[in-house]
Amino acid sequence: MDLDPEGIFRDDSDSDNELYEEKEPTKDLAVYLIDASPKMFESITAHGDEVEETYFDIAINCITQSLKTQIIGRSYDEVALCFFNTKEKKNLQDLSGVYVYNVMEREAFDRPTAMLIKEFSSIKDTFMSKIGSHYGVLPGSRENSLYNALWVAQALLRKGSVRTCSKRILIFTNEDDPFRNMTGAIKADMIRTTVQRAKDAQDLGISIELLPLSRPDENFNISVFYADVIGLEGDEISEFLPTASEKLEDMKDQLRKRIFKKRKVRTLLFSIANGITIEVNTYCLIRPTLPGSTMWLDSVTNVPLKIERSLICADTGALIQEPPKLFHTYKNQKILFSMDQISEIKNISDSHLRLLGFKPLDCLKDYHNLRPSTFIFPTDEEIIGSTRIFVALYQSMLCLKRFALAFYGRSSNPRLVALVAQDELISSSGQIEPPGMHMIYLPYSDDIREVEELHITAGATAPRATDDQIKKASALIKRIDLKDFSVLQFANPALQRHYGILQALALGEDEMLDIKDETLPDEEGLARSTVVHLLEEFKTAVYGENHDQEEADALTLKASNSEASRKRQKLTENATKECAKYDWNDLAESGQLKNLTVLDLKFYLTAHDLPMTGKKEVLINRILSHLGK
C-alpha cells in the first residue's frame, strides 16, 4: 500500500520511509464506560450566560474528539462504547443498568466508523428517550450497575490476545462514592465484590483507568472508593490528580490527554561507560500524521485489487525467483553486492545507544536537524537502577546546560544523536512537557551544505544593518508579536480537508463542512495602522524614500532590455507564425490534434503563453480547454 500516492505530503524532499517504520507494536482495545446517572446530567457551567454544559456533555465531547483523532491516526485500534446507570439495558449478558452503544454495520467492539462518530457526537438529543438515566445502586435492591458494567467490559475484552493487544477499561464518572446510598453490610459487600471484579479483570491483563470529572467546588476524592478499583497505593493516590482544574477547558484538556494510550516504540540499552548500561524506552511524541493509506479498487465492483509484483530480467524477459544480488555502476563496471554485505557495511556499532561525551547546549545549532526527535524515558523493568542513573545524568545536564552526544546504532541507519534533557513543564491543564531526554538526529558533514559560500561577495564585504535600522526592525518585531504561540495551535489544513472529504463521502453527505485554514496570517491585525506605520518606517530606513518607484522602473527596464526577454519575444513571434499554419479549431473539432507532433503543439502553447509541461495527451487537453472545447 502506498502511504502518500499523490505526493502531497512530500513537499520538497522525498518522504522518509524509514521514519514510518517505527510503528508502534500493539493495537489498543478500549472499552469506554460512561456513567449516565442523573448526577452526570447536572450542569457544570459556572456563569449563567454561557451555553449550559453538563458532565455528560463533556465526557461525550472528549470521547468524540478522541475518536476523531483515532480514525485519522490509529484506525486499527478498536473501541466499545458502553453506558452504565441507564434505564434501558443492552448487553449480551443481559445485565441491568448497562447499555452497549453501537451503530449499523459495526460490531459492538470494532474500529470506529464515520457513522459511529457522527451518531455518538449527537447522542445527547436522543439519550433520554432511547436509553435513559437511572441510579443503578439503590437501597432495597441488590443491583450493582458498576459491577455489571465491569463485567460487560471484561466480557467484551475477551477479544484479542494480551500479547498483541493492550486492553483497557476507561471509566468516566463524577461520582467518587458510587455506593453512598447504601449502608452497613450490604455496602461493604458491594464494595468488596466490585473491587474483586476489577482485580479479576486486571489479572487478565486489562488495565482499568479512571477519568474523573470533578466539580469546581469539590474535588473528586479518589480514596473513597476508586483507588482500590484501579489499584493505586500509598503515594500514587496523592499523585493521581495533579491539580484541581479550575477552568472547564483545563478539565477537558486533562481528560483528552488521559484517553490516549502511551505507546513505547522500543526498549534500548544505553551504554554509558565501562560496562555501565541502563535501560530506556523510546516514544514518538512528534511524528508527521499522514493521510491514511490508499489502495486500488476495481471501479465496477469497488473491491480491492491484488497487486502482484514480479522481477523480470531486462535482457531475457525471464522471471527471477530468488532475491537478486544488487549492483552499483562505478568506473563503468557493475560492482555486485550481496544483501549480507550491505547489512555488514551498515553495521557500525554493536550497541543500541552509546554515550560518547557531553557538549554545551550552544554547540547544537539550529541547522543540526534532519528528522523528528524521539523521546526517551528510563525504565527499571529489566535493569534495576536504570532510572536512578538516568535521573542523575538528566539533572546534571539540565543544571550544567549540556547535552550528551551519543551514537544510535540502528541497523538501517546508524546516526550520531544529541540527547537534550527536557525539564518537566506543567500548566493548569496538566503536564505540557514531560521530563526526560529528547534524541535529536544529527546530520553528518555529507548532509550539510555550505550554501552561504555561494553568496560570498568576492572582495567586498556584505552590507550589514546599521543600529538605527536594527532599532526600526525591533520596533516592528515587537508590534507583530504572537504572545502565547504554541506548536499545538494549528491543525494541518491539508489533512483536515482530506478527512473532511472522506467523512462526507463515507456518510453519503453532499455538503462538506467548510474547513478553516488556521494557518493563514491575521490580515486584519497586520493591517492595523500602527503596524503599517512601523513597516513603512522600516522600509524607508532600509530601502530609502523612493524605493517603490525605483523598483517599478527597474522592472520595466529589465523587461524591455534583458537578453532573455528579447529571446522570449522572438520565440513567441516565431511560434505565432508557425501555428498560423494550422486551423486549430478545425483540428480540434475533428479530433486530429493527436496527429500533430509535440513540437507543433508547443508552438500553439508558446504563442498563447500557456504552460508547456506534460505529456502529449496533457498538451492536447490544454489546447482543447484553451479553445473552449
Partner 1 sequence: MARNKETLILLIDVGPSMHSVLPEVENVCSMLVQKKLIFGKTHEVAVVLFGTEDTHNDLEKEVGGYEHVVVLREIGVVDGDLVELLQNLPRGTSPGDFLDAIVVGIDMLLKKSPSGKQKKCLYLITDAKCSTKDPFEGTKEDQVWVYKKTSEEKFPTLKKYSDKAHPSANYATHEVKVGIEYKSTKDPDKFVPPEQRIKGYSYGPQVIPISSAEWDAVKFKPEKGVKLLGFTDASNILRHYYMKDVYIFIPEPGNAKATVAVSAIARGMKEMNKCAILRCVWRQGQGNVVIGLLTPNLSSVDNIPDSFYFNVLPFAEDVREFQFPSFSNFPSCQPDEQQQEVADDLVRMLDLAPSDTKEVLQADFTANPVLERFYRFLDLKSKNPEVDVPQLDRRLKRIAEPDPETFSRHKPIIDNFQKQFELKENPKKKKLTRRAWREKASASNEEEVGVNDGVPEVHSASLVKCSTSAKVEKVSDLNPVQDFEAMMARRDSSKWTRKAIKDMQDYIIDLLENSFDGNSYPKAIECLIALRKGCILEQEPKEFNQFLINMYKKWNTSDLADFLGLLPSKNITLISKSEAADSDLTEEEARNFPVKLEDSFE
SS3 550: helix
By CB under 8 A, residue 304 contacts partner 1: yes
Q: Which is nearer to partner 1, 463 or 628 (CB)?
A: 463
Q: Which is nearer to partner 1, 299 or 595 (CB)?
A: 299
Closest CA to 570 of 611, 517, 607, 525: 607
Distance CA 35, CA 150 (A): 12
The residues in 413-432 that bind partner 1, with binding defined as CB under 8 A, are 413-414, 416, 420, 422, 424, 430-431
Dihedral angle over CA of 253, 257, 259, 261, nearest 10: 170
**What is the closest distance, in whole angstroms, from the C-beta atom of residue 172 to partner 1 in the complex?**
17
Non-local CB neighbours of 378 within 8 Å, separated by 6+ positions: 278, 279, 280, 281, 386, 387, 389, 390, 391, 436
Specify whether the CB–CB gap between 261 and 268 falls below 8 A.
Answer: no
Distance CA 168, CA 153 (A): 9
**What is the closest distance, in whole angstroms, from the C-beta atom of residue 237 to partner 1 in the complex?**
12
By CB under 8 A, residue 470 contacts partner 1: yes
For partner 1, which residue of 142, 464, 581, 615 counts as binding (CB under 8 A)? 464
Query: C-alpha cell of 327?
Result: 549492483
**What is the closest distance, in whole angstroms, from the C-beta atom of residue 548 to partner 1 in the complex?**
12
**What is the closest distance, in whole angstroms, from the C-beta atom of residue 198 to partner 1 in the complex?**
22
For partner 1, which residue of 158, 180, 547, 577 counts as binding (CB under 8 A)? 547
Region near partner 1 per CB under 8 A, out of 121-129, 395-403, 555-563, 590-598? 395-403
For partner 1, which residue of 140, 142, 218, 274 counts as binding (CB under 8 A)? 274
By CB under 8 A, residue 554 contacts partner 1: no
By CB under 8 A, residue 298 contacts partner 1: yes
Q: Which is nearer to partner 1, 7 or 591 (CB)?
A: 7
Tell me, what amino acid is at 268? L
How many other C-beta atoms are found inside a 10 Å radius of the C-beta of residue 360?
Answer: 10
The residues in 9-68 that bind partner 1, with binding defined as CB under 8 A, are 9, 11-13, 16
By CB under 8 A, residue 153 contacts partner 1: no
Taking CA atoms, 48 is separated from 45, 219, 250, 543, in Å, by 7, 22, 19, 55
- Let me know if 124 is a catalytic residue: no
Report the largest interatomic distance among the alpha carbons of the chain, rounded to a whole angstrom.
Answer: 104
Distance CA 167, CA 9 (A): 33
Q: Which is nearer to partner 1, 300 or 599 (CB)?
A: 300
Distance CA 12, CA 604 (A): 31
By CB under 8 A, residue 478 contacts partner 1: yes
Taking residues 595 to 614 in sequence order and writing x for each that binds partner 1 by CB under 8 A, - otherwise, the string is --------------------
Closest CA to 234 of 225, 221, 223: 223
Region near partner 1 per CB under 8 A, out of 170-178, 192-200, 449-457, 595-603? 449-457
For partner 1, which residue of 51, 104, 185, 458 counts as binding (CB under 8 A)? 458
By CB under 8 A, residue 80 contacts partner 1: no
Non-local CB neighbours of 311 within 8 Å, separated by 6+ positions: 319, 320, 324
By CB under 8 A, residue 328 contacts partner 1: yes
Catalytic residues: 23
